[in-house]
Chains A and B, each alone.
Chain A
C-alpha cells in the first residue's frame, strides 16, 4: 500500500515536455530519492507534488487523498507537505525563531517551547534564535529550513537539492544529520538531487528520471548494480561496459568469460562491471593480459589506462582502482572479477 502515489503525471512548458506520464509510489516512513541530470524534470515533479505548479494530466494521491487530478489541484497551503529547498529559502526579514515559528499557529500555547525543541533537534544553539538568516552559515541555514518545515509536522517532506550549495565535507555531514532527524521523526521524505552518490546513500528507494521519463526505480543496490540501460549505468557511477556474447548465463568478452545475472538471454549484448567488482592480479596464463599504459594518482585511487595485449584493436580500458602498491606503467597485469556481470538493456530514452 503506497503512501504517496503518482500516476501518469505529465507537464509541458510550451512545446517542451517536462514530465511524460511519470508514475511513482512511495511507502510510508520511507526515503525516496529522485535522481537525474539537470533539466530532466525531477524538480518539476517535486513542485507538482508540493502544489507550486499545475500538472497537465495525471494524478497525485497522498494517503488516499487526491491532491492533483489533471488540471485540478489542492492548493499548496492545504496539503500539509513540507519542503526544504536548495538555499533554504529562509525569510530574510524574519529572525531564526520567527522563521521556525512561521508555520505554527500564532496562538499555539507552547509555540516558543516547540521552536526551542526544534532548535535542539537540528543541533543549533538557542543563542542563534534572534539572529537573521544572513548571519548563519549555509549549513546552519539548511538546518533551520528543515526545522521550519518540521514544525508543521508535515505528512511528507520534500527535499529539493538541499545539500548542493554546501561544501563537500559539510554536505556528507548534513546528509547524515538530516537522514537521522527524518528517521527519528518518522516522516516520509522525497529527495530530489542530481548527485547520484547523495541519492544512493540517502534513500531506500531511488527513482531515476531522464528527459521527463521515469527510467528505473528500485533499491540503491538494484539501480547501481542492475541499471536498466547504459546511460543509467554511466549516470550512477563509474562503469566498465563491454560488448559481450551471452550464452547460458555466461558472457564472453574481451576480458574473459564471466557469469551473468541473466540466464535466459543469449546473443550479442552489453554487460556492465562496476570498478568495485574488478581487482588487479598477476597475469594468469590463458586469461587476457593487459599492459598498464598510464597510471594517474589521485589520493584514494589510481586511474589506470590499460591496453589489451592480445587485441591491439580493442579501445583502451579506463579503470579506477585503489591500492597502495601499484605496479609501474608498462607492467603486465591480469584482472579478477567478483560477482555477476549485469546485462544492460536497450537505452529507454534518448539522451
Chain B
C-alpha cells in the first residue's frame, strides 16, 4: 500500500517537474531542433536576450522529428520546428500540421528558398560537395557528376553517411532530377562501392586520414573544421559539381510554426527573427558556415558565393523523403 503510494507520488512529482509542464506558461517556446545544436542555441540565446521569450530545445534529426510531429499530431508540444534539410519540412507540411506564415515573414526570404505553400520558410542553405584527399587526387581525377560515383572504378574509394538526413536529401535531389530507375541503379551501385561512415564529420575525417579518397558531404563541415583546428581537414579539398548536376544540390534548412502551437505569435516571431537581419547575421559571422538565405544577406566571405554554385533548380516540395528512405532500405543502405 505504502509502496505503491510512494511510487505514485514520486511519479507525480517528476511529472510535475517536467519542462513540458513548465513550458506551458506564457512567453516560452518549445523548439524541435534538427539543426546543429550550436547554431540553434546561438539563435535561441540571442532571441531570448532581445525578446525575453524563453526557448526550450529538443535535439533530434530531421526526419526523426518530422515523423515524431506526425505521430504527435494535434497534441505535439512543439511550437517551432527547425531542420537542416527541406524534406522534413515537406513531410510535416503535407500532413497539414504547419500554420501558414505571415507575408511579413515570408518576405524576408526570396521565393527560391521557400515553398509555394508559404507554410514554412528557408532559414539557411548548404551545398553538396565532394570532399577529397588532395594528396591523392588531382582535379582531373575527380568525378564530373555525382552519378559517376556509381562507376565501379570508384568502388571503395568514396564515403558517405547514408543514415543522415543530409545524405538522404541529396538522394532526394537525385530522385527528383534523374527519376526512380536511375536512382535505384545508383543506390545499388553505391551499396557495392561506398565506405559507410556515421555522420558527415566522420566521413570527412576518414578522407583526411587517408582511409578513403573522397566523401559526399555538405560544404560547411570543411569550413567549420578549418576554423577550429583543421585537425580533421588538413588534407581535404572541396570539389563543387556545378552544372546543375544533382551533386550541386543546395539543400534548404527550414523553419515552420506548428498549427497546434498555443503560442503562435511568439513562435512566428522567432521564425521571423531568424530570417531577418540579426538571425541571418549569425550565419555570416558565426561558426556554422552555412549560407544565409535572407534577401540581400551576404555569406561568410570564405565561402564560394551561393550564386556561383550553379545549383539545379528544385522545388523543395518535390523532395520525397519517404520514397528515399524506402529505396535506401531496399538497397540495403539502411
The answer to whether A and B touch directly, with their CB atoms under 8 angstroms apart, is: no
Binding site for A on B (CB under 8 A): none
Binding site for B on A (CB under 8 A): none
